[in-house]
Structure 1
Amino acid sequence: MLTFPKPSTQQFLQFIRMEDFTVSPDETQVIISTNLNGKFNLWSLNLPNHFPSLLTFFNQPIDSLHFVESGDFILVGFDQDGDENVQLYALSPNGGEVLPLRKEEGERHFFGHLSNDGKHLYYTSTKGNPMFLNSFKYDVLAGKEVCLIEGKDAPTFIHAVCPHEQSFVSIKDFVNTHSLAFVHTNDDELLLTPQTNEQHTVSNPIYISDNEIYFLTNYDSDFSYLAKFNIPSKKFYKVFSIEKEDFTAMKYSPEEEILYLVGSYGVDDRLYQYHIPSGMSEQVPLPIKVIHKIEVKKSGNLYVMGETTTRLCNLYQSTNQGQDWTELTHYRIPGISEKQLVEPEIITYPSDDGLVIEALWFQANNDIKNDHVVFYPHGGPQASERMIFNPIFQLLLANGYSIFAPNFRGSSNYGLSFMKMVEGNWGDGPRFDNLAGINWLINNGYVDKDKLLLLGGSYGGYMALLLHGRHHEYFKAVVDIFGVSNLLTFLDSIPEYWKSYATQWVGDPIKDRKKLIAHSPITYIDQMVKPMLVIQGANDPRVVKEESDQIVTKLKEKGRHIEYIVLDDEGHGFQKKENEIFVFSKVVEFLNQMIKQEKVC
């Protein structure tokens, strides 16, 4: 019997993934954005056949993907090498060169709505108003546009347009935990939720007729629920909620008069049907743990894109309202079964103030474990670690490392009040939660104190730097991936449309200067004594390269062990397969070297 070698690092990373999809109105064509050729392009599945054919060759991940209801073209938005200046294009269903619809160098365009006949494109843009944004109606055939909204007070986006284009809904995003929605008619501008001084959010507005809008909100609640607004009567109604469930996405099936709602409390998702005429609801079985996108076609067929911790993101179709699912794509790691991958355990622990924190614990298999634990604070910070396939996790697990990923205060999917706990408190509350998690691991025998490693990206990179500077005694080595090093320079360099809410989100650079300095990792540079690997995308518009440059420069001046990798063709993430393989391989190589040094000593 032949014995095959154990999977190598290269093998673990030689997987293909998808990031978005859209389905033609007649459901004969599914367009997917995937890196089948090593870089993201659009490919077509011509149903019932599942073998994809290449449509584009722009080699960029996409931001928007929508099939016009007439079937004439596909709207696609993409940037250049991670700069996030998204431009909007039209693409023939047969593929080929894209046709620019709204393209302006140095500006970003946000897709809002495309009329059913494909003649009118509604979108929001940074042009002319980089802080609060402007929204436009563009005549695709005539090539002319009108400005519908000049943003004021907060970044304002157009989100939905009524079937006969007589009114539309805009949302003002004051901060991640506070947004207001307005319906704009010929005569009026109406707030969808009742007047209140309490901050809340509104999302996912859907017209089910010219007069009625359904949407998700946590107005007067800690969790988001289904609500509706009647335009003629100007009345708000709370429609449907589930205890300790947070609705985060919604799609409408007009033929069946069913709303499909995604519930996202905690680390995984659930899907619900809500029948508008009867008010009845039921949970829909899912083949996945986390939903990234859902489409409902006129036939009532469902298309869901999602993943689990041991299965890559895939696309599924249901022709019977979710009772059965067909997997249309089949993304897997070559030569590695799901049984060889590690499912996490969901655990909870108390923080120092008694707040309960949920975390994912990935235990390396006994036959390969090296007794080291990688502590992983997630990015965001108003995001969360969830039941998704994380390639660096499974790669580290295959190399013997266990992983602990806490959803500290400020994480999403645990209610509005929990999410708000990080605002203006980047450097204390979440840090104490992470420290409590570290001590919980040690006190409960999950890891020895001298066998902890630290890895994080974005806000997680910031937290890795801060924990290193303030609590270096816990860690053997640190990996920082595009982490914020200085909150003052960070606030000065973020995109303009972030700046209006940065004061509540992070702090005021003048009034809160003392606190921001205290919360900045670079303040504790002298205590950063452990070996470090820093990774940065040169085109990152969120955490600019200067954030990594300054921490690396100062550590080099002090003669510390510091390795620095800059990727010239990436932004806030690694979208090109060769870069992803290179970066994750370097992370494992770096950590392995740190362990070997200990053994030599």
Structure 2
Amino acid sequence: MAKETYSFERYLNVRTAFGPHFSPDGQKLSFLTNITGVAEVWSVDLNMQAAIPSWPEQLTFRGERVSGAVYAPHEDTILVSGDIGGNERAQLFLLAADGSQLTALTSNLEVMHIFGDWSPDGRYITYSSNERDARYFDIYEMEIVSGEQRLLLQHDGTNYAHGYSPDGSQVYLTRWLSNTRSQLLLVDRATATERALTPEMKLDGRGAVYHSAAWSADRQGLYLLSNHERQFRSLAYLDLSTLAMRYLGEDRWDVEQLQVSKDGTRLAMVVNEDGYSTLSLFDVSQGWEQRRSLLTPTLPRGVIYDLTWSEDGSRLALTYATADDAMDVWVWDLEAEAIVRATQSSRGGIPQASFVNPSLVHYPTFDGREIPGFLYLPTGQQKQLPVIINVHGGPEGQARPIFDPVTQYFVSQGFAVLAPNVRGSTGYGYDYQSLDDVRLRMDSVADLQHAALWLRDSGIADSKRIVVMGGSYGGFMVLSAITTYPDLWAAAVDIVGIANFVTFLENTGPWRRKLREAEYGSLENDREFLEQISPIRSVDKITAPLFVVHGANDPRVPVGEAEQIVAALQRRQVPVEYLRFEDEGHGLIKRSNRLLAYPAIARFLEQQLS
């Protein structure tokens, strides 16, 4: 019997649920899901003994993306963040827990507002905003009842508020110098003075990050994650009286998530082991040295996001993803030793058995390194396949084995898909992440060349049907691959990619330029090099047909990047198709637009590879 196949629309109708947060009494869980076509806030009653989870209730109806929802500590109200048209200029709203009222707390639609946390008494929130100057984020506080705002910290830099001290007297923040360099600070609410907890980062030295800080049970120190003077991000303890930091373990993989219960007695951390997540739970009520391991839930091998504790620390909610199932929210009850799938996202009517799990592979590249990646193969087919090399963005990012409807659709149609983690990817140590910085940029593109050569030489790929596809920085990699190694590719797909590093840095959101220059180079010091490696400068070498997708409201990679490459190819009469979406930003968020773009990409590839 022939295997049944499904339309692209069915795959794009697989839903996701994520971003959980407990109500103060622990009886409800808010979460975000794209059931309606874009992420909105929903809630569900929690009954761990019920055989069938409660039916969830939709709470917001904005029709625009919601990026976060966090319950107040003592009342049934929720702080909601959301933007318009993908422009990332998030506004803050107060939502009644029954969904009856959504009140705007901010009103400047040209300004970004990044929520930090509620104060312990629930009277205030802290957040970051670039209202004073679009280039910089200051720290603000708002009294919820009166709506009165005050500036807690003004600083010409990128400052993100995270939370309050347990007694509410201080606000903890992270100051970012680049995407790989940060510092922790405390701001005293009464005096508005700052105290640096970790060393100030310099751009001309080895970078380090400090993040995910949480108070210990005795309130004398902070647990946090850092890679200061080591390859991987590890769990550490910072003594608040001496500011001495000590690592609590030797890790050969990144500890990527840390959450400590409100009272500081329970600690959850997630380790990223070659792209897969491992969860550990500890009772640290007596400190780390007297810690006691707690039982963890048994889950299929996958990836964990969005850890959050209930107010009393008895339950842990997490977003869990595998390559062969929809992303959903799970709740682990530590006392009952039971786990419940709190949300039940639709699989689009496609049997789960139809989805494919990848193999973790490594392929050799030009300098003898082994590049990790995830290889998806259609069932029963191993050789001489059309192949899509799908490049992640970032570049400080990592391809992970999570459900991707685009990958699963193409695999169902007989494609192999390789998701490589070329040099510059995170998850493999500081040195590996730094191998593509500034003047080393094109070495990562050479890793793509060797991915294609490995697929060809191993017999997996039909050498005449290899496609390169990617978004954001991955879009730059696509354009760079088809200009640097033009003979390798049968076709290419560029989604919100960089075509010209000079115009990209000139036009990207002013709050992002400084952060990105540490990775890409600056126009002041590296303009000639950036011009040299920009794909637009080598457009005459492109022979592969190209499909381009971009959102008109993209604040990260402005739509002019797409316009440049499309116009240049049209002038040369190289086959190019272009979809511009007026209500999207950096990537396609709305299902209605995804239903237009991805089937069109599939038709394009079918035509070019036939």
Question: TM-score, with normalisation over the residues of structure 2?
Answer: 0.92
Runs of 5+ unmatched residues, structure 2: 48-52
Give the C-alpha shift of residue 285 in structure 1: 3.9
Give the C-alpha shift of residue 254 in structure 1: 4.5
Residue 74 (structure 2) aligns with: 70
Residue 527 (structure 2) aligns with: 513
Mapped to 2, the partners of 1:195 and 1:565 lie a distance apart of 44
Q: Secondary structure at the match of 1:88?
A: strand
The alignment status of 1:173 with 2:182, answered yes or no, reads no
Question: Can you list the C-alpha shifts for 1:172-199, whole angstroms capped at 9, x where unaligned?
Answer: 1111111111223468644323578542
Q: Secondary structure at the match of 2:444?
A: helix
The alignment status of 1:31 with 2:37, answered yes or no, reads no
Whether the aligned pair in 2 keeps the contact of 1:522 and 1:551 (CA below 8 Å) is: yes
Q: Secondary structure at the match of 2:326?
A: coil
Mapped to 2, the partners of 1:405 and 1:234 lie a distance apart of 45
Residue correspondence of structure 1 range 561-576 to structure 2 within 5 A: 561-576=575-590
The alignment status of 1:316 with 2:330, answered yes or no, reads yes
Whether the aligned pair in 1 keeps the contact of 2:497 and 2:562 (CA below 8 Å) is: yes
Aligned positions, number: 593
Q: Residues 40 and 426 (structure 1 numbering): CA distance in 2 closer, same or farther, change over 3 Å? A: farther
Whether the aligned pair in 2 keeps the contact of 1:485 and 1:520 (CA below 8 Å) is: yes
Give the C-alpha shift of residue 322 in structure 1: 9.5
Q: Residues 282 and 320 (structure 1 numbering): CA distance in 2 closer, same or farther, change over 3 Å? A: closer
Mapped to 1, the partners of 2:483 and 2:387 lie a distance apart of 19
Residue 309 (structure 2) aligns with: 296
Say which is worse superposed, 118-127 or 96-105, in terms of deviation. 96-105
Mapped to 1, the partners of 2:224 and 2:405 lie a distance apart of 34
Whether the aligned pair in 1 keeps the contact of 2:283 and 2:292 (CA below 8 Å) is: yes
Residue 599 (structure 1) aligns with: none
Mapped to 1, the partners of 2:335 and 2:549 lie a distance apart of 44
Task: Find the partner of 1:279 among 271, 291, 302.
Answer: 291
Task: Find the partner of 2:400 among 386, 393, 397.
Answer: 386
Give the C-alpha shift of residue 321 in structure 1: 6.7
Q: Residues 31 and 195 (structure 1 numbering): CA distance in 2 closer, same or farther, change over 3 Å? A: closer
Whether the aligned pair in 1 keeps the contact of 2:179 and 2:516 (CA below 8 Å) is: no
Q: Residues 466 and 3 (structure 1 numbering): CA distance in 2 closer, same or farther, change over 3 Å? A: closer
Whether the aligned pair in 1 keeps the contact of 2:20 and 2:317 (CA below 8 Å) is: no
The alignment status of 1:406 with 2:409, answered yes or no, reads no
Say which is worse superposed, 355-364 or 385-394, in terms of deviation. 355-364
Whether the aligned pair in 1 keeps the contact of 2:512 and 2:556 (CA below 8 Å) is: no
Whether the aligned pair in 2 keeps the contact of 1:164 and 1:210 (CA below 8 Å) is: no
Q: Residues 459 and 15 (structure 1 numbering): CA distance in 2 closer, same or farther, change over 3 Å? A: same
Say which is worse superposed, 113-122 or 30-39, in terms of deviation. 30-39
Task: Find the partner of 2:90 among 80, 86, 93.
Answer: 86
Give the C-alpha shift of residue 438 in structure 1: 1.7
Say which is worse superposed, 425-434 or 547-556, in terms of deviation. 425-434
Say which is worse superposed, 29-38 or 73-82, in terms of deviation. 29-38
Say which is worse superposed, 524-533 or 205-214, in terms of deviation. 205-214
Q: Secondary structure at the match of 1:50?
A: coil
Residue correspondence of structure 1 range 117-128 to structure 2 within 5 A: 117-128=121-132
Q: Secondary structure at the match of 2:253?
A: coil
The alignment status of 1:95 with 2:68, answered yes or no, reads no
Mapped to 2, the partners of 1:198 and 1:321 lie a distance apart of 44
Residue 349 (structure 2) aligns with: 335
Task: Find the partner of 1:495 among 509, 512, 527.
Answer: 509
The alignment status of 1:228 with 2:221, answered yes or no, reads no
Mapped to 2, the partners of 1:4 and 1:444 lie a distance apart of 26
Residue correspondence of structure 1 range 508-547 to structure 2 within 5 A: 508-547=522-561
Residue 53 (structure 1) aligns with: 57
Question: Can you list the C-alpha shifts for 1:128-184, whole angstroms capped at 9, x where unaligned?
Answer: 0222211111111222222111123x3112222102222222211111111111223
Residue 50 (structure 2) aligns with: none
RMSD: 2.2
Question: Can you list the C-alpha shifts for 1:85-116, whole angstroms capped at 9, x where unaligned?
Answer: 00001000010341111231200011112113
Whether the aligned pair in 2 keeps the contact of 1:113 and 1:121 (CA below 8 Å) is: yes
Q: Residues 174 and 286 (structure 1 numbering): CA distance in 2 closer, same or farther, change over 3 Å? A: farther
Mapped to 1, the partners of 2:435 and 2:584 lie a distance apart of 31
Q: Residues 299 and 376 (structure 1 numbering): CA distance in 2 closer, same or farther, change over 3 Å? A: closer
Whether the aligned pair in 1 keeps the contact of 2:120 and 2:167 (CA below 8 Å) is: no
Residue 586 (structure 1) aligns with: 600
Q: Residues 68 and 410 (structure 1 numbering): CA distance in 2 closer, same or farther, change over 3 Å? A: same
Q: Secondary structure at the match of 2:357?
A: coil
Mapped to 2, the partners of 1:370 and 1:568 lie a distance apart of 39
Identity %: 25
Residue 473 (structure 2) aligns with: 459
Q: Residues 195 and 33 (structure 1 numbering): CA distance in 2 closer, same or farther, change over 3 Å? A: closer
Mapped to 2, the partners of 1:494 and 1:35 lie a distance apart of 28
Which one-letter code corresponds to 2:159 in the other structure? T
Higher relative contact order (CA 8 A, sep 6+): 2
Runs of 5+ unmatched residues, structure 1: 597-601
The alignment status of 1:247 with 2:262, answered yes or no, reads no
Which one-letter code corresponds to 1:47 in the other structure? L
Whether the aligned pair in 2 keeps the contact of 1:302 and 1:322 (CA below 8 Å) is: no
Give the C-alpha shift of residue 379 in structure 1: 0.9
Question: TM-score, with normalisation over the residues of structure 1?
Answer: 0.94
Q: Secondary structure at the match of 1:274?
A: strand
Mapped to 2, the partners of 1:284 and 1:527 lie a distance apart of 54
The alignment status of 1:157 with 2:160, answered yes or no, reads yes
Give the C-alpha shift of residue 354 in structure 1: 2.0
Whether the aligned pair in 1 keeps the contact of 2:119 and 2:163 (CA below 8 Å) is: no
Residue correspondence of structure 1 range 135-150 to structure 2 within 5 A: 135-150=139-154
Q: Secondary structure at the match of 2:105?
A: strand
Say which is worse superposed, 312-321 or 12-21, in terms of deviation. 12-21
Give the C-alpha shift of residue 469 in structure 1: 1.0
Question: Can you list the C-alpha shifts for 1:225-277, whole angstroms capped at 9, x where unaligned?
Answer: 2222232x223232422421211221112558121011124211111123322
Give the C-alpha shift of residue 82 in structure 1: 0.1
Mapped to 2, the partners of 1:593 and 1:457 lie a distance apart of 21
Residue 366 (structure 1) aligns with: 380
Q: Residues 339 and 500 (structure 1 numbering): CA distance in 2 closer, same or farther, change over 3 Å? A: same
Question: Can you list the C-alpha shifts for 1:189-217, whole angstroms capped at 9, x where unaligned?
Answer: 44323578542100011123554222111
Give the C-alpha shift of residue 359 in structure 1: 0.7
Question: Can you list the C-alpha shifts for 1:418-459, whole angstroms capped at 9, x where unaligned?
Answer: 212222147412111111222122222221321211111111
The alignment status of 1:264 with 2:277, answered yes or no, reads no
Whether the aligned pair in 2 keeps the contact of 1:368 and 1:399 (CA below 8 Å) is: no
Give the C-alpha shift of residue 282 in structure 1: 6.4
Whether the aligned pair in 2 keeps the contact of 1:265 and 1:414 (CA below 8 Å) is: no
Mapped to 1, the partners of 2:583 and 2:229 lie a distance apart of 45
The alignment status of 1:486 with 2:500, answered yes or no, reads yes
What stretches of structure 1 move > 6 A for 4+ residues in a row? 367-370
Give the C-alpha shift of residue 283 in structure 1: 7.7
The alignment status of 1:435 with 2:434, answered yes or no, reads no
Q: Residues 282 and 195 (structure 1 numbering): CA distance in 2 closer, same or farther, change over 3 Å? A: farther
Say which is worse superposed, 484-493 or 63-72, in terms of deviation. 63-72
Which one-letter code corresponds to 2:232 in the other structure? F
Question: Can you list the C-alpha shifts for 1:3-44, whole angstroms capped at 9, x where unaligned?
Answer: 995322222222222242222121222222212223332222
Mapped to 1, the partners of 2:494 and 2:345 lie a distance apart of 29
Mapped to 2, the partners of 1:358 and 1:30 lie a distance apart of 37
Question: Can you list the C-alpha shifts for 1:485-524, whole angstroms capped at 9, x where unaligned?
Answer: 0000000111111122332121111321121012111111
Whether the aligned pair in 1 keeps the contact of 2:266 and 2:313 (CA below 8 Å) is: no
